[in-house]
Homo-oligomer: A and B are copies of this chain.
Amino acid sequence: MAARLMPSGQVGRSLPRLEGRDKVTGRAEYTFNLRLPGMLHGKILRSTKPHARIKRIDAAAAQALEGVYRVVTIDDVRTVIPVPYYGPAFHDQPILADGKVRHVGEPVAVVLAEDRHVAEEALGLIEVEYEDLPAVFDEVDAMTASAHVHDALKPAGAFVDLKHLEGMSGTNVALSYRLRRGDVDAAFAAADRVFEEEYRTQQVMHTPLEPFVTVVEPGDGRITVHTSSQGPSFVRIELARLLGWPENRVRVKVPYLGGGFGGKLYIKLEAMVVACALVARRPVKIALTMEEQFLTITRHPTTFRIKSGVTKDGRITARRCEVFWNGGAYADIGPRVAQKSGFAAAGPYDIDNVSIDSAAVYTNRPPAGALRGFGAPQLCWAFESHTERIARALGLDAFAFRRLNLLRDGRPQATGTIMRDCALPQMLDVLEQRMNWRQPYDRGSGRLRRGRGIAISIKGITSPTTSVAIVNVYGDGSCGVYCSTVDMGQGSDTAMAQIAAEVLNLDAEAVRVIHPDTDVTPYDMGTLGSRSTFHMGNAVRSAASEAKAKIAALAAELGLPSGSNVPVAELFRRKYGTQAGNIVGVGSYIPTYVSPDRETGLSNDVTPFWAAAAGGAEVEVDTETGQFRVTRLWLVADAGTPINPRIVETQLSGAAIMQLGFTVSEEMLFRDGQLTNGSFADYKIPGIRDVPAITGEIVDNEQQDGPFGAKGVAESTTMPVSPSVGNAIEDAVGVRITSLPITAEAVYRGLRARDGNPLPEE
């Protein structure tokens, strides 16, 4: 390992979050609380059909309701946005339904009124006549179904790699990612044992505490968009494209954000509210209810067919992965999830022969996008359950089997990318120790049985992406950091302040972080996929370093000896004769790759760093009912050298608790495309009493090109949770669950089957 950087004190501090006081005193600004003079409220009329042609919309009665300002449909939208289709990968999503609806809950019309209750009431007065179309809901069915969600594919123009899909028709496959390494068929034929399984995951939702909300102020050839977005720069660029305006006429502001988890990326309400505001020529606000979010963006259900060949002494020689991602009616970022997470679908193992097919599929469900892990948790559920089954079948210890096959630094991953700065071996060691894995273990007796399971995983970070930051040192030496990273609860403001403070030799508490505003803070690709600490951290570090260099240059210009440490305020005073001036540093970061693999010709730039985690779970299963409790979670992650260890620890447990909900309780249930449990009475997220004892730990590591050795960690511990729990259940009662969520019923059915007395299928 390279020599450790020795931070001068700001980086590595577990200082409390800088925004803490604002939040606990209720002062923190959220878009949800924003009201503007003359503002109209919009309420959305949503499709009741999963797939249908719209024959007629009769809004006369709604329009006539006292207090209704206007009912807006796609025809009105077209008067201000001629081609009203958007999306980050495919321009497939209309701002309002355009002749067809493709999922239940799709926005069909918006009622604008001064009072949102009036708008709500008017929704009931709009009549929509539909003509049903054949629908498809399952991701595997959709591969071959004659029902097609879209007539033709519409990839976004910006992406070269999607160009060949333009106009393709007769398919529900938006994007199919394919990777071949070695010869899997030959390797399967030569293997001592071959294992083949299918794993499935369910559709779930992000459940941010602050629902989606957008407020738009129309101006003179300009708009200001206040929105609950994780990606203000993207929103600006996409709105500018829709409007045909230059970027500098679109201002996007994000104050604090009440959670995002990948749901608040790209365009959600923004285009709709912009259209409404331009049509109405008044400020418009649309805020979703918590329940409407189920119909807006979700996590992909998946089917993962996995097949592995192994030698009798436990080396995995071949792995074939076929993953089907149920993207719902609109692609959102789904095709990139299928592609980017597809890279690592074979798991963190050193396998010579790998075949991966990962398909993003349209269905008539609500759209799916990114959700804390960008597909990796679904994949890990499959490959780490599968890995455990192989180990058990071969009679090998869970740790030993993983160590034997581990993808270690210096070795190429399936894509050819050389692994580096990834602390998986250390994580396995730490996890084994913390779980007392080698000690005698009380497995319970009688009705209650206990078991333990583990899982490990890696995840690439979407790449290449860019962050830009500005650090402005004011006349008194205090400073501001300008970046478009959204503080959505993950503590990025605090981390960025620490990085700038470290470079400039200030207290982090003295650094002011200015919140995203595209008129103010420079470009950032988005607050997503564990990228901010690494990318924006590097940009902030670089901006602060440029400022520092300029300070040194100013001191030299003033004739001071280098290292004279005259305070900045005094330098300004000498230069300008008074308290005046600024020193502005700009930092722009895009990853550069240190180990291009020119020989293999394989792409070597799939990720700037590897997020990685190991996890363990203990469960207690009631063998009479199938009821079970997760009693303990162990989490070990690689954060490189953490900027703020305390915040990293809360990320470890936060990610794990979120994924625990997806593992044991959360599931959007559908009947004929209709969501049947779209309320928080029926859809159960973890409460405080559902949280098990959690042990979180960061291993000692350094991400060499990370800011002060740091890397992102927001998603890492989502990955091992589901397979750890599934593996623990198998460990406890010998039942293998292959579909998420793991319910008491599924366990009970497994117990009955195990005992040769299976329940009939429902």
Contact = CB atoms under 8 A, between A and B. Distances in A.
- The interface size bin for chain A is 35 or more
Interface in A537-589: 573, 575-582, 584, 586, 588
A91 to B, nearest CB: 14
A247 B477 CA distance: 8
A580 B525 contact: yes
Nearest to A520: B520
A465 B576 CA distance: 7
Interface in A233-288: 233, 237, 240, 246-249
A579 B582 CA distance: 30
A407 interface: no
A476 B233 CA distance: 12
B237 A476 contact: yes
B590 A248 contact: no
A479 B523 contact: no
A525 B478 CA distance: 18
A166 to B, nearest CB: 17
Nearest to A510: B246
B475 A579 contact: no
A233 B580 CA distance: 8
Contacts of A691: none
Contact of A519 (B480, B510, B580): B480
A161 to B, nearest CB: 10
Contacts of A517: 520
A472 interface: yes
Interface in A178-236: 219-221, 233
Contacts of A22: 219-220
Interface string A12-51: 0000000001100101000000010100000000000000
Contacts of A511: 248
A183 B584 CA distance: 49
Q: How many copies does the complex hold?
A: 2
Contacts of A586: 584, 586
Interface string A518-529: 011011010000
Interface in A474-503: 474-480
A470 interface: yes
A514 interface: yes
Interface in A684-738: none
Nearest to A28: B220
Contacts of A475: 233, 237, 247, 523
Contacts of A37: 35
Given A478-B247, A512-B248, A522-B472, A590 B578 contact: no
A134 B477 CA distance: 45
A742 B530 CA distance: 74
Interface of A is mostly: loop
B476 A246 contact: yes
A247 B159 contact: no
B21 A523 contact: no
Contacts of A246: 474, 476-478, 510
A247 B514 contact: no
Contacts of A477: 246
A158 interface: yes
A468 interface: yes
Contacts of A247: 474-476, 478
A82 interface: no
Contacts of A465: 576, 580
B240 A476 contact: yes
Nearest to A236: B474
A474 B519 contact: no
Nearest to A575: B590
B581 A466 contact: yes
Contact of A523 (B464, B510, B520, B582): B582
Contacts of A21: 220-221
Nearest to A476: B247
Contacts of A573: 158
Contacts of A577: 464
A26 to B, nearest CB: 10
B466 A579 contact: no
A497 to B, nearest CB: 11
B514 A468 contact: no
21 contacts: A22-B219, A158-B573, A158-B578, A237-B476, A237-B579, A246-B478, A247-B478, A248-B474, A248-B479, A248-B480, A248-B511, A249-B478, A464-B577, A465-B576, A468-B581, A520-B520, A522-B584, A523-B580, A525-B580, A575-B590, A586-B586
Interface of A: 21-22, 25, 27, 35, 37, 158-159, 219-221, 233, 237, 240, 246-249, 464-466, 468, 470, 472, 474-480, 510-512, 514, 517, 519-520, 522-523, 525, 573, 575-582, 584, 586, 588, 590
Given A248-B479, A470-B584, 17 more contacts: A237-B476, A246-B476, A247-B475, A248-B478, A464-B576, A464-B577, A466-B581, A468-B584, A474-B523, A480-B519, A520-B520, A522-B582, A523-B580, A523-B582, A575-B590, A576-B590, A584-B584
A-B residue pairs, 8 tightest by C-beta? A246-B478, A248-B512, A248-B478, A584-B586, A522-B582, A247-B474, A520-B520, A523-B582
